[in-house]
């Protein structure tokens, strides 16, 4: 009986690498291998050694193959989906000149403001790049490095995103994709290529950057002999261009030009994001107007503080994360690492509204409400970026797809349902980033459309939870505190 071809989808995130061994014909997830990353830094700094990502990738692939009991010779393709925006600066031998500055490193907030002004304001940036610079965007980190570590930028032989770095290690080719490239601040979604005006503003030479493939599922190259030895895989198999983690999750959900469009997704992980796939190019200063991995677009709002911030509050209170109840009069803005949407990079957490009868469980519930509110507030803007009226009944009736680690938690799911008043679909698979990458790998190996593959696999399917009555009082309570506190948080 002929064996089914296998593909490997890699999710290289902030905290760890996951490798998903997947049946290329059915999308069945056979096994997931995991390996951790270290994140270091204080006072807004968040850094990791890219060499640890490569080591973790090898460990995760080996663990997944062993758990699946899979024959490595059956693997036909591999793709990497990586944490967005990280800045990797390499020497001529492809080795990091310093640790990578991660997406949640907020030191470059002053550079973000200066770059915004230098181009003529937010509208000028969205017209070109699709996004306004904030501390998360790669361009601001490059500018910070130019100003603070000029010897490093002068010595740079290559500039990469995290997923670019790993893809190049796999196939020896410097290749990225439009989705992840659109989060750099030097790629123009308006033209589909690197923007010479932005590169000039950043004093960044285009030859330092990887080539941009047509899509994340395009074949970037073949697995080199050295990489094959490191991973225990056959040399010569297809290596896809890959993409960013949010773009890969969209593929895994079957969102894009060949699948569902304009259906909002809320991802609850280290960061909280809300996005939707659309064929309409986003033009909103309040959002990131990203490209998608399949050639469509992915308007996205992103917060820095999501599951880790709420877990920290639970730890401080000595509670299990599921012991939360609605916050009552208490309001918590859990901006423990600054914030991205809204753009408050120097903000700290805020707690108000405590009474004698306020319980620890209510304080934890208020932290959930503050985190969920922050990302849900961007939902209407995402829908407008798709050319939709958020108040239209047919738009409001579209269920919210809930993904990420938080989607598996009762407290997160109930808080999102209560604050949004929307129906919620929780996909059965909890590894949508890795499965999206697996679809990109299968696309590189076969030439098939990755969104169509994921749709046929059914990786985004799951039960639909009916809407509950929206808690307008909790929503307005958090909104009022945030609006009044923003001037103070900005300082």
Q: Do 9 and 429 form a contact (C-beta atoms < 8 A)?
A: no
My answer on whether 27 and 74 are in the same domain is yes
pLDDT digits (tens, 9 = 90+) for 248-263: 999 999 999 888 888 9
DSSP for residue 449:
-
Higher pLDDT, 122 or 3: 122
Query: Are 266 and 403 found together in one domain?
Result: yes
> Residue 359: which domain range?
260-426+462-491
Task: Count the domains in the chain.
Answer: 2
Question: Over 90: is that where the pLDDT of 283 sits?
Answer: no
Which pLDDT belongs to residue 447? 96
Burial of 108 (0-12, 13-18, 19+ CB in 10 A): buried
* Band (92; pLDDT cuts 50, 70, 90): very high
Domain boundary among 212, 246, 280: 246
On whether residue 433 sits in a domain, the answer given is no
Residues 49 and 196 in one domain: yes
Among the three residues 217, 246, 275, which one is the final residue of a domain in this structure? Answer: 246
Are 276 and 197 in a shared domain? no
Q: For residue 487, is it within any domain?
A: yes
In this structure, the answer to whether residues 230 and 303 fall within a common structural domain is no
> Whats the size of the chain, residue-wise?
491
Question: How confident is the prediction for the chain on average, in pLDDT?
Answer: 95
Report the CATH number that the domain containing residue 340 is assigned in CATH: 3.30.420.40
> Is 38 contained in some domain?
yes
pLDDT at 260: 87
Q: How many CB atoms lie within 10 A of CB 110?
A: 15
Residue 56 domain-assigned? yes
Given 198, 217, 246, which residue is the final one in a domain?
Answer: 246
Whether residues 100 and 211 fall in one domain: yes
Known binding-site residue numbers for substrate = 84-85
pLDDT on residue 119:
97
Q: What is the pLDDT of residue 258?
A: 80
The closest alpha carbon to 437, from 49, 174, 61, belongs to: 61
- Does the pLDDT of residue 85 top 90, yes or no? yes
Do residue 229 and residue 276 come from a single domain? no
pLDDT at 490 over 80: no
pLDDT at 173: 98
Q: Is residue 87 pLDDT above 60, yes or no?
A: yes
- pLDDT cut 90: percent of the chain above it: 91
**Is 311 a known active-site residue?**
no
461-487 per-position pLDDT tens digit: 999 999 999 999 999 999 999 999 998
Q: pLDDT of 367-413, one tens digit each?
A: 999 999 999 999 999 999 999 999 899 998 899 999 998 999 999 99
Does residue 448 sit within a domain?
A: no
Known binding residues? 84-85
**Residues 12 and 121 placed together within one structural domain of the fold:** yes
pLDDT, tens only, 183-225: 999 999 999 999 999 999 999 999 999 999 999 999 999 999 9
Tell me what the mean pLDDT of segment 447-453 comes to.
Answer: 96
Residue 71: inside a domain, yes or no? Answer: yes
Confidence at residue 491, expressed as pLDDT on a 0 to 100 scale: 62
Question: Is residue 350 domain-resident?
Answer: yes
Among the listed residues 164, 245, 380, 449, the single catalytic one is 245
Bridge partners, residue 20, by sequence:
9, 32
Instruction: Assess contact for 323 and 364: CB atoms under 8 A.
Output: yes
Average pLDDT score over residue span 408-431: 94
Considering the domain architecture, whether residues 70 and 193 belong to the same structural domain is answered as yes
Segment 311-361, tens digit of pLDDT: 999 999 999 999 999 999 999 999 998 998 888 988 999 999 999 999 999
Q: How far apart are CA 188 and CA 126, in angstroms?
A: 9
184 and 312 part of one domain:
no
Mean pLDDT of all residues in 135-143: 97
Same domain assignment for residues 277 and 223: no
Q: Is the bond into 310 cis (omega within 30 degrees of 0)?
A: no
Q: How far apart are CA 105 and CA 244, in angstroms?
A: 17
CA atoms within 13 A on the CB side of 135: 25
Given this model, what pLDDT does residue 1 score?
38
Give the residues across from 171 on adjacent strands: none
Given a contact cutoff of 8 angstroms between Cβ atoms, the answer to whether 306 and 298 are in contact is: no
Q: Are residues 274 and 141 in the same domain?
A: no
Domain assignment of residue 157, yes or no: yes
Buried/exposed 362-392: b ≥16 CB within 10 Å, e otherwise: bbbbbbbbbbbbbbbbbbbbbbbbbebeeee
Of 342, 296, 292, give the one whose Cα is nearest residue 182: 292
Tell me what the mean pLDDT of segment 285-300 comes to: 94
């Amino acid at each position: 009986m002929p064996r089914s071809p296998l593909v490997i989808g890699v999710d290289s995130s902030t905290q760890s690498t996951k490798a998903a061994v997947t049946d290329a014909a059915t999308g069945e997830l056979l096994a997931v291998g995991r390996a951790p990353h270290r994140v270091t830094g204080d006072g807004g700094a968040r850094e990791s050694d890219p060499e640890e990502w490569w080591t973790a990738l090898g460990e995760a692939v080996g663990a997944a193959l062993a758990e699946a009991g899979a024959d490595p010779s059956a693997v036909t393709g591999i793709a990497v989906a990586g944490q967005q925006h990280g800045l990797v600066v390499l020497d001529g031998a492809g080795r990091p000149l310093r640790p990578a500055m991660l997406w949640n490193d907020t030191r470059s907030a002053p550079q973000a403001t200066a770059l915004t002004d230098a181009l003529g304001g937010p509208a000028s940036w969205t017209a070109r790049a699709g996004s306004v610079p904030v501390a998360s965007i790669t361009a601001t980190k490059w500018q910070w490095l130019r100003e603070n570590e000029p010897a490093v930028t002068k010595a740079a032989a290559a500039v990469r995103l995290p997923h670019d770095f790993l893809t190049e290690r796999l196939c020896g080719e410097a290749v990225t994709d439009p989705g992840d490239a659109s989060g750099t601040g030097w790629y123009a979604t308006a033209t589909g290529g690197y923007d010479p005006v932005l590169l000039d503003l950043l004093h960044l030479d285009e030859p330092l950057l990887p080539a941009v493939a047509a899509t994340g599922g395009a074949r970037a190259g073949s697995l080199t002999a050295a990489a094959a030895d490191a991973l225990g895989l056959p040399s010569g198999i297809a290596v896809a261009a890959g993409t960013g983690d949010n773009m890969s999750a969209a593929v895994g959900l079957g969102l894009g030009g060949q699948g569902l469009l304009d259906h909002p997704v809320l991802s609850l992980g280290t960061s909280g994001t809300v996005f939707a796939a659309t064929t309409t190019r986003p033009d909103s200063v309040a959002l990131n107007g990203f490209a998608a991995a399949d050639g469509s677009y992915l308007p996205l709002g992103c917060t820095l503080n999501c599951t880790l911030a709420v877990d920290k509050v639970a730890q401080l209170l000595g509670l299990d994360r599921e012991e939360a109840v609605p916050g009552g009069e208490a309001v918590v803005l859990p901006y423990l690492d600054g914030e991205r949407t809204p753009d408050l990079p120097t903000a700290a957490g805020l707690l108000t509204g405590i009474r004698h009868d306020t319980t620890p469980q209510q304080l934890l519930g208020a932290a959930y409400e503050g985190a969920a509110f922050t990302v849900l507030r961007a939902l209407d803007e995402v829908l407008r970026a798709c050319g939709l009226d958020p108040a239209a009944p047919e738009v409001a009736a579209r269920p919210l797809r809930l993904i990420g680690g938080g989607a598996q938690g009762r407290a997160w799911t109930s808080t999102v349902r209560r604050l949004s008043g929307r129906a919620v679909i929780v996909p059965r698979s909890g590894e949508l980033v890795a499965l999206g990458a697996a679809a990109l790998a299968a696309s590189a190996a076969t030439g098939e459309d990755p969104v169509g593959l994921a749709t046929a696999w059914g990786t985004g399917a799951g039960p639909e939870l009916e809407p509950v009555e929206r808690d307008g009082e909790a929503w307005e309570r958090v909104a009022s505190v945030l609006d009044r506190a923003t001037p103070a948080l900005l300082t």
